[in-house]
Every structure is written in C-alpha cells, then in structure tokens.
Amino acid sequence: MAPRGRTTRRTPSATLAVLVLLLLVALLTGCGGTASPATPDADPDQVDAVEPPEAGACRQLTLEDVAAATNATETVDCASKHTAETYDVGELPADLEDADYDSPEVGAFAYETCDTGLQTFLGADESLSMRTVLSWAWFRPSREAWDDGARWYRCDVVGGGEQSASLVPLPATARGLLSGRPDDRWMACVEGPSVAQSVKIPCTQPHDWRAVTTIKLGEAADPYPGDRLSEVQSRDFCKKSVQAFLNYPATFDYGYTWFHEAEWAAGNRRSVCWARTGE
C-alpha cells in the first residue's frame, strides 16, 4: 500500500495578523503608536530618550507592547518574572540616517539584524528558531526622539510567537536557551483538528500538532516565486519531511505554514512543516 498523506494547510490570516509577533509586513511599514508617561508601566526617562536603551535589560511586555513601534516599559530585575529580554541595541547604519521614521528600509534592516541576532543569542539555526514559541520584537525611538536625531534600534527576545495567545515568562536569561536539545516548553505545538488559524502553544501542553521542520524556498537575492509555487513547494516538501519524521507510516497527517510576498520582501524565505502527533 502506498503511503498517504492528509494535508491540513495553515496560512496567516487577517485576524491573527493583528497580534502576530512576526508580522513582517508591519516591519516594513511600521506599526503602533508610542508609549507615553501616562502609561502605568512606562519609564518617563525612556519615553522620548535619544540615548540608546540598555542591552541585557528585562521587561514584562504584552502582545500589545510588541506590536508598537516604540516601547518605554520600565525594566525589571531579570531574576523576576518577565516576558522580554533585550539582546541587541545599536545605531542604524549611516545610509539610514535620513530615512523616514517608518520607512521599509529601516524595517528591513531591523528584520535582518534582529532575526540573525536572535539565532546567535539563543544558540539556534534559522529552522529551529522558527519552530519555537520564542520570537523577537524590535523597537525604535519615539517620533519626538527621532526628530531630535535618535537613530537607535532595540531587539528583544520575547516569550511568544506568531500565533501565541499571550507571552510566556522567560528564564533569567535566554542566552543559549536552544543550544543542544531544546526543552519542549520552548518548542511550538498546536492543539486542535488542524493547524489552520490555531494558537501556538509550548509542546509541554496537550497538543495534536508539532512543528518539526522547515523548507527554504529561496536565497536572499531571489525574487518572490509567487503564491502558487510557494504553496506547492511547501506542500510537497512537508509531506515527505513529515513522513520521514514519523518513521514512514502508511497513513499520516501533515500541515504547512507558508507566507506571502510581503513577508518575503522583509526577508523570510522559509515555510514550516507540522506533523500530527501528540508526542
């Protein structure tokens, strides 16, 4: 009997896009507002700060916080409960000094810098980092600080991902968290009949689906292959990959997450493969 694979497709939806941590199109256009001194957990000294923030600082951020263009939430002791840790702070390159506040070029720089930096910080490659409940958020100065010449960026690792319902607490430091064999509490799973529009949860929770591998659809300089080809390549690869992961059963269920041109423009070149398994 020839092996059979049952497909359940998973693609980003408009409703989830409001909350997605890696909404890459937002990275290109800028999103959200700015924190203000009236915000209960805002540090007035950070709100319109021209000087870059501190690397290594921890904060108790929410999904709404990470969707904003800038953030001035007060720092907390990293030994206490927190959902974000700043792993990279720096100045924008000289060729972006005259860029608009919400220019696509600034967003593209942030994507490349924060995404690559997160992999190094966590001790993961690109494929592994996309299969976890961890992600990153980046912040820029407030518009007032930008007008005063501030050109810094801040990359935070956060305890949540693209379809998380909320952010989860992080350890005292996330440095090297994915080195070796990562703990299941950081790996991405889904509970439900399919992975379509489902909430991503840690694999330590009861689940029906696990993110098991990724497929790279192109190189950095390649043009977007189009929706149809991206989906077909993702489907075909994921079917074979998941079958191998499950040790070649006669029947199996698999799913895949593929992205679109806006995400491609921001730098993403991978789709994610999901296996139906409670393990």
Whether the per-residue pLDDT at 194 is higher than 80: the answer is yes
Collect all residues with Cβ–Cβ distance below 8 Å to 176 and sequence separation of at least 6.
122, 123
pLDDT tens, 139-183?
999 999 999 999 999 999 999 866 678 899 999 999 999 998 999
| Confidence (pLDDT) at 160 | 86
* Structural domains of the chain, count: 1
Percent of the chain whose predicted confidence (pLDDT) is above 90: 68
d(CA 113, CA 169): 24
- Report the range of poorest mean pLDDT among 129-138, 157-166, 225-234: 157-166
Whether the per-residue pLDDT at 197 is higher than 70: the answer is no
pLDDT tens, 50-98?
999 999 999 999 989 998 999 999 999 999 999 999 999 999 999 999 9
- Structural domain range at position 226: 4-276
| Confidence (pLDDT) at 36 | 41
Q: What is the 3-state secondary structure (H, E, C) of 5-30?
A: EEEEEECCCHHHHCCCCCCHHHHHHC
